[in-house]
Structure 1
Amino acid sequence: MTLIKGIVFDKDGTLFDFQATWGAWSREMILAESGGDPAMVARLADSLGYDMGTGRFRPDSVVIASTVETVAERILDVLPELDKDALIARMNARAAEAPQVEVPRLREALERLAGMGISLGIATNDTEAPARAHLQAAGVEEMFGFIAGYDSGHGGKPGPGQLLAFAEAAGLRPGACAMVGDSLHDLAAARTAGMVGVGVLTGVAGRATLEPAADVVLGSIAELPDWIAAQG
């Protein structure tokens, strides 16, 4: 395998635990947008693949890997009277303030990778402003030389645009880079961009789902520095 010189990370489910971060947030969003009406709450939760009882997402939830716009469209299927632009604005504002639950040893892993001379970037289907807010709150924004949301001009995943823009910004061939993420969208983007695809299990998808699409599946990014070192 080619020595990896650049890594572009997904954000939710990769740097931050997906269920722990977005479970409570999504419950409050569903209650707010539905006005607390029990029938609407149930319909909206089901449409988004969310269990109001457990506060967790189903593996097939549209929320897991989609853009804010796609999630908003799913909400509008249930609540068509809402204004789409206003809904997206509310979702982005709430998302920017959502407390992020970091995966274990987040900063340690990033510092080790940077110490290995590896360029680091972010490619998320979140919008860029909330993504930067989350990274800043975690104290790691400055560790990434490239940060792109789906609204940053490179498209969203599973398209390869964000990944190729990262490689160009880092001055690297795509083949010398890896995409690290928790979803099939991430791994499909890696494949199309010609990058190594690394799956992690800190999202909703399990090993059996990710392995057929990945070059390797790790428990979390904490295992990434040792895995990369072993490739050399």
Structure 2
Amino acid sequence: MFDKDGTLFDFDATWGAWAKARIEAMARDDAHAMSLSAAIGFDLEQVEFEADSAVIAGTVEEAAELLLPHLPGRELDELVAELDAAAREVPLVAPVPLAPLLTELRGVGMRLGICTNDAEATARAHAARAGVTELFDVIIGYDSGHGAKPTPRPLLAFADALEIAPEEIVMVGDSLHDMKAARAAGMIAIAVLSGPARRAELEPAADAVLDNIGGLPDWLARRGG
């Protein structure tokens, strides 16, 4: 099971572009843009999130809640819908070619899924744009009815859907939220460094840390399947 942003797709290339575009569209002036950026822990000049930004492992709704106090007159539901719609059109930069990697994993008998704190519709739109939808058995978002990571419920929903024991499932993600969810679900926790979190932060929480998802076939081979 894969996290999406920071795992299947480079985090800042995807969400940095999204945040910059939305802030520039919503801001009245430069000062307002800076306040919106600060609210979500985003560096507008560098087009990247600060390491402690709540948006990194959060949901679009949580990002909207942080922005809302700086947008008088806006309603939360309407803002969430706007941010979700924009998210479906962000650039997608994968750390490795996705289709060949996922096809290789399926070829050795793996069942595959996405578990993201993004909306399910956005995750499906991104998978479709990357041409890999049919390679996933299950796609779960924060709004799919199972809650959001770090709760283990969406991970366990994947296990239930495919009738696979949690201890036989590998959760691959780039954040501590992913690792905590994997641990709570009783799954194997594999971290990748294609998101904002660094190795020293992830190593204590993970069974292994890989540079990116391209290292999975070798890791599986070393593990024996």
Give TM class, smaller chain: over 0.9
**Among 111, 118, 132, which residue is 2:110 paired with?**
118
Letter in 2 for 1:27: K
Gaps of 5+ in 2: none
TM superposition shift of 1:24: 2.0
Aligned residues: 224
Q: Which amino acid aligns with 1:137?
A: R
Q: How far did 1:23 drift?
A: 1.5
Matches within 5 A, 1:67-106: 67-106=59-98
> Please, which of 92, 104, 107 is the counterpart of residue 99 of structure 2?
107
Query: Structure 1 residue 193 and structure 2 residue 193: aligned?
Result: no
Q: Which one-letter code corresponds to 1:124 in the other structure?
A: T
Alignment of 1:50-65 (within 5 A): 50-65=42-57
CA shift, 1:69, in A, is: 0.9
Superposition deviation, residue 80 in structure 1: 4.0
Change (3 A) 1:154 1:41: same
Per the TM alignment, residue 34 of structure 1 is displaced from its structure 2 partner at its CA by 2.1
Structure 1 ranges of 4+ moved more than 3 A? none
Aligned partner of 1:34 in structure 2 is 27
**Equivalent in the alignment of 1:3:** none
Q: Of the two structures, which has the highest relative contact order with CA contacts closer than 8 Å and spacing of 6 or more?
A: 1
Unaligned runs of 5+ residues in structure 1 are: 1-7
* Matched ranges for 1:1-232 at <5 A: 8-35=1-28, 37-232=29-224
Structure 2 residue matching 1:9: 3-state secondary structure: coil
Mapped to 1, the partners of 2:74 and 2:50 lie a distance apart of: 25
CA drift at 1:167:
0.7
Tell me by how many angstroms 1:184 deviates.
Answer: 0.6
* Paired letter, 1:108: P
Q: Percent identity?
A: 54
CA distance in 2, matches of 1:59, 1:137: 28
Does the aligned pair in 1 maintain the 2:17–2:91 contact within 8 Å? no
Distance in 2 between residues matched to 1:24 and 1:145, nearest whole Å:
29
Q: In structure 2, what is the Cα distance between the partners aligned to 1:42 and 1:211?
A: 34
What is the SS of the residue equivalent to 2:147?
A: coil
How far 1:229 moved relative to its partner? 1.6
1:78 CA displacement: 2.4
Give the partner amino acid of 2:23.
I
Structure 1 contact 106–221 (Cα < 8 Å) conserved? no
Query: What secondary structure, in the 3-state scheme, does the structure 1 residue paired with 2:88 have?
Result: helix
Query: Matches of 2:220 and 2:35 in 1, distance apart?
Result: 44
**Inter-partner Cα distance in structure 2 for 1:94 and 1:124:** 17
Please give the alpha-carbon distance, in whole angstroms, between the structure 1 residues aligned to 2:107 and 2:218: 13
Q: Scaled by the length of structure 2, what TM-score is found? A: 0.97
Contact 1:50 1:58 in 2 (8 A): yes
Shift of 1:95: 0.6
Aligned to 1:5: none
1-structure distance, mates of 2:217, 2:103: 10
Contact 2:174–2:195, Cα closer than 8 Å, also in 1: yes
The letter of the residue matching 1:104 is V
* Offset, 1:106: 2.0
Q: Deviations over 1:26-48 (max 9, x none)?
A: 1110111223x111111111121
